Structure 1
Amino acid sequence: MDFIDEELKRLKDKNLYRVLRPVSTPQDHRIKIAGKSFILLSSNNYLGLANHKLIKKKSAEALIKYGTGAGASRLISGNIELYDELEKTISRFKRTESALVFSSGYAANVGTISALASEKDTIFSDELNHASIIDGCRLSGADIKVYPHSNADKLEWMVKKYRGRGKKFIITDSIFSMDGDIAPLGEIKNIASKHGCILFVDDAHATGVLGKTGRGSSELFRIDGRIDIYMGTLSKALGSAGGFICGKKELIDFLINKSRSFIYSTGLPPSALAAGTAAIELIEKDRSLRDKLLKNVEILKAGLDSLGYDTMKSETQIIPVLMKSEELAIRAFNFLYENGIFVPAIRPPTVPPNMSRLRITVMATHTMKEMEFVLDVFSKMRRAIRI
């Protein structure tokens, strides 16, 4: 199959080729790759819960009691009773009526959007929304209108212009996964209410992080219970695996019957379900990890800004360091790798051309010494590779 070889060569020539690197340690602030220790600055395990003693204990107990896998889809025999406990915990945490857990965040977005929207409907989608949202919109067959990033005025103009005969959806990330900025959800919610739109918010990177108690963007913007379709993941700040949708009970019942990614996926391992419940309960009781995360974010972003790096409009634990060219991003990654810091280069098609970057993600478990070391290496890197 010559076309495969040709495409791989093209990717290599354009500095877009990707490889897998086996990690031999738990996901934490330090990992080992090929026997070498690195400070990890690319994990979504924001609170360090994937390697937290209590979470691992609860996960192990579920493994012993229920076994390693669900064995079937939830509508067959894979609906382990731990699902009920987890979904009740999620809906309480998110202040919604009900919740439904999917096999991944990707499955939650693709399966929900494609089940709810159809050819008669119109979707207004932020231009920087996650790939899973984009794919769900495409699968739905709806008329997709992409609005400029976080531009509420332009969004409202488009909603007024494209009145369509079917349902209207506004879909947005809360924290954008590559830029680290936050959508103006207060304004977007007002637009949705004013013009009769269904609001869908992807809270994957905000769950456990944003808001006074970590409930997410709805808490930050004081719109708890007012988001029609509220998506989140168990695999980021919660340190487990899976995705979820929150909303009215009728929405959840509809998805159980109509969402293909839910219906045709095997249930999650019992250990992941128990870990998700334990993580939410820990976040509700203990704010110290969130406080530590926010402090680390403040220190690292201020340091990078003072060194002259372009961190774009980040205001969260996701801190992009703009390199523009793919070549420079690769050189920066290699320099950091050689100095014991793991931060992959993000290149097209994940980001637009000439917007390649290092995507730093901060964790609560990073130490002050590690933050100081990272900033020292970034200082040296400016001179070494002439950024």
Structure 2
Amino acid sequence: MLVSDFHYDLPEELIAQRPPAVRGTSRMMTLDRRTGDFSDHTFAELPLLLQPGDLLVMNDSRVIPARLFATRAGLTTQHNSPAPSGHIEVLLTQRHASAEGYNDWSALVRPAKKIQPGETLLFAPDDSTAPLLRATVLSAGEFGERTLRFDPAEDFHAALERIGHLPLPPYIHRSKQEPNTSEDRERYQTVYSQQLTSAEAEGSAAAPTAGLHFTPEVLSQLKERGVEFATLTLHVGLGTFQPVRVERTEDIRLHAEHYTLSTTTAEAIQRARREGRRIVAVGTTTTRTLEHIARETNGSEIAAHSGSTALFLSPGVEFKLVGGLLTNFHLPQSTLLMLVSAFAGREQALAAYAHAVEARYRFFSYGDCMLIT
């Protein structure tokens, strides 16, 4: 299939720039993938639209303040000038195993051409010139990708919290003076990730946005309804930010993203599968993780483990675990829209999107959502 087969026209004013005034008050479309029928609801109706016995699986990864601004500290490579110059924007996308004390990260860097292996970057707070973090560029990849090694720091995560900004998507516009607001700091996290410390669930460079709608009240109502819920952790990384640069879907290759499946969640999935209960994924990240695990285990017992997935789901694939999907509305020609089209059927998904545009739904990260069953 062609990437252009997943295009739709979206008026710019429908791209949500801020979350709804009250968390959980978004609109929600439902789509029956067997019939193609869709209808309009609100997210508050979710407990009534799910069935007792459903297992709702959510991604509890916490978004870190991964957007940083650096100053060039000089170069060790002979072909570049050692003079400090300019501000460099750095977006941390994935943490790697590294030597003791160091923190190695994949990152997107702008302007990328200036930043080559061997260069040192300094990261200081806005109110100081004294750097809290120092990183060396280890390697360079395509499209601004760089591998950075941060020097040992007394508390790396505390330093990120002080100097970093939430990595809001580029279609959410904020001023250069205020890259994100105090509202963003709260609302660009799920309520269940906010209960965890950054060390427990840190790692995402973008929010698993389908989870942003949930409130403690809705979670309580789901429990009363008899809906079981469990969490896994997949750290959202580079693939979220990189546009599709090929023409055919079979040429798409996703970056691997790290996930962790706990014993509690593995057992919950096993019980639901054994008892024939529906597994409903909250978001595309959860869907990819569950379907990756299903393919890795190939019908055998699912156990707690950690791993990584680069699974790409497009029309024609068989879903082995996921029987329902709650998801936000995604960008045209994106791999996330292709995943939704794989689950719901391309024509049905695009027809639902056309209705969402006509009905003035709010799109993308801070926008409305769709329940596909």
Q: TM-score, normalised by structure 1?
A: 0.28
Q: Which has the higher helix share?
A: 1
Larger RCO: Structure 1 or Structure 2 (Cα < 8 Å, ≥ 6 residues apart)? 2
Q: TM-score, normalised by structure 2?
A: 0.28
